[in-house]
């Protein structure tokens, strides 16, 4: 092999070894650096007991915190509010409480995620950030509370719920499956 050929072989081999070294260090480094971009394995959303059905006022929505284990990276905060829901109850069906009309919405505004409040007139849900307004049945209203177009891409997000009877006390309870959804889109997609 002549000198030029030997040198280009050495260059090629050095490059290969250098690339191996770079890969051994680089792959875990990059994989670690972008780990926050991976989908989080959030705990399976489950039905949580939220409030006694009888304690809910009729035709006047109330906001109730959902209590659970709040995970923040390595720390677990036991029994902390992990979110809030709006519950709007109709007339109590005393014959079969499970048939009581009830609406359960996540209090997270589908626009940019602020907590939706009750409007000043008490007739609408209004988000305090950009005045997105919703009817009590969750429907998006085209015009904002203060005029202008409603910035929310969809109505309030309904949550799955169940009305159940406690085995011991025989009280009727509302159980809600609290979930979070992608913001800013016309369709409802659960965050995973």
Partner 1 sequence: MASFCDWLDARTDYRRYFAPIRNRGVVGGPSWWLTSGSLLLWLFVIELITGLALMASYSPSMASAWASVHFIDQTPGGAFLRGIHFYTSHALILAFLAHLIRVVLTAAFREPRELIWITGLLLIPLTIAWTVTGNPLSANVKGMAQIDVEGKIVASTPVIGPTIQRLLIGGNAPGNLTLTHLYFLHVGMMPVLVFLVLGLHITQVYRHAASISDDNDRNEQGNVQPYWPNQTFRNMIVLAFVLGVIAYLTWRFGAPLNAPADSSLTHTPRPEWYFRWLFELRRYLTGDWEFLATVILPTVVLAYFLLLPALDRALSRRLSAGLRILTVLIGAGVVGSLTWISFARDWEDKEYMASEQATRDLGARAKFLASRGGLPVEGAITLLRNDPKTQGPVLYRRHCAACHPHTNENGEGIVPQTASAPNLYSFGTFTWIEGVLDHEKFVSPQYFGKTKLVEGDMASKLKEMFEGAKDASQLKKQMAAAARALSAEAKLPSQAEADKRDTAQIAEGVKLIQGDLSCTECHKYGEEGELGSAPDLTGYGSREWLAGIISDPKHERFYPDDRNDRMPAFASDPQQPQQNVLSPRELDLLVSWLRGEWKEEPSATQ
Asked if residue 83 lies in contact with residue 66, where contact means CB atoms within 8 angstroms, the answer is yes
Asked if residue 99 lies in contact with residue 35, where contact means CB atoms within 8 angstroms, the answer is no
Query: What's the token pair of residue 63?
Result: 């906001």
Verify binding: residue 191, partner 1, rule CB under 8 A: no
Asked if residue 78 lies in contact with residue 100, where contact means CB atoms within 8 angstroms, the answer is no
Q: Which of 55, 71, 175, 179 binds partner 1 (CB under 8 A)?
A: 71
Q: Tell me the site size for partner 1, rule CB under 8 A.
A: 29
User: Closest CB to partner 1 among 74 and 120?
Assistant: 74
Verify binding: residue 5, partner 1, rule CB under 8 A: no
Verify binding: residue 78, partner 1, rule CB under 8 A: yes
Integer angstrom CA distances of residue 106 from 87, 116, 155, 190: 9, 9, 11, 12
Integer angstrom CA distances of residue 162 from 18, 47, 52, 107, 191: 61, 8, 12, 18, 21
Nearest approach, Cβ of residue 21 and partner 1 (Å): 5
Q: Enumerate residues 27-66 that contact partner 1 by CB under 8 A.
A: 27-33, 35, 38
User: Closest CB to partner 1 among 29 and 165?
Assistant: 29
Nearest approach, Cβ of residue 34 and partner 1 (Å): 9
Q: Which residues of 155-183 are buried (b: 16+ CB within 10 A; e: fewer)?
A: bbbebebebbeeeeeeebbbbbebbbbeb
User: Closest CB to partner 1 among 11 and 99?
Assistant: 11
User: Closest CB to partner 1 among 72 and 121?
Assistant: 72
User: Closest CB to partner 1 among 12 and 165?
Assistant: 12
Verify binding: residue 21, partner 1, rule CB under 8 A: yes
User: Closest CB to partner 1 among 11 and 52?
Assistant: 11
Q: Give the C-alpha separation, 103 to 94, whole Å.
A: 18
31 φ/ψ angles, rounded to the nearest 5 degrees: -60, -40
- By the criterion CB under 8 A, which residues form the site for partner 1? 7, 10-11, 13-14, 17-18, 20-21, 24-33, 35, 38, 69, 71, 73-78
């Amino acid at each position: 092999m002549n000198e030029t050929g030997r040198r280009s072989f050495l260059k090629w081999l050095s490059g290969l070894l250098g690339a191996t070294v770079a890969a051994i260090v680089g792959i875990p480094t990059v994989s670690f650096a972008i780990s926050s971009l991976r989908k989080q394995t959030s705990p399976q959303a489950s039905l949580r007991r939220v409030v006694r059905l009888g304690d809910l006022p009729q035709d006047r929505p109330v906001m109730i915190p959902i209590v659970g284990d709040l995970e923040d990276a390595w720390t677990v905060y036991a029994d902390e509010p992990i979110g809030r829901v709006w519950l709007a109850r109709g007339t109590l069906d005393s014959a079969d409480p499970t048939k009581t009309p009830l609406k359960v919405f996540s209090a997270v505004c589908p626009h940019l995620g602020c907590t939706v409040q009750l409007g000043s007139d008490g007739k609408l849900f209004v988000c305090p950030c950009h005045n997105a307004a919703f009817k009590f049945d969750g429907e998006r209203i085209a015009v904002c509370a203060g005029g202008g177009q409603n910035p929310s891409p969809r109505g309030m997000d309904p949550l799955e719920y169940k009305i159940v009877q406690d085995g011991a006390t025989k009280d009727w309870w509302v159980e809600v499956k609290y979930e979070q959804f992608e913001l800013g889109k016309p369709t409802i997609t659960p965050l995973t």
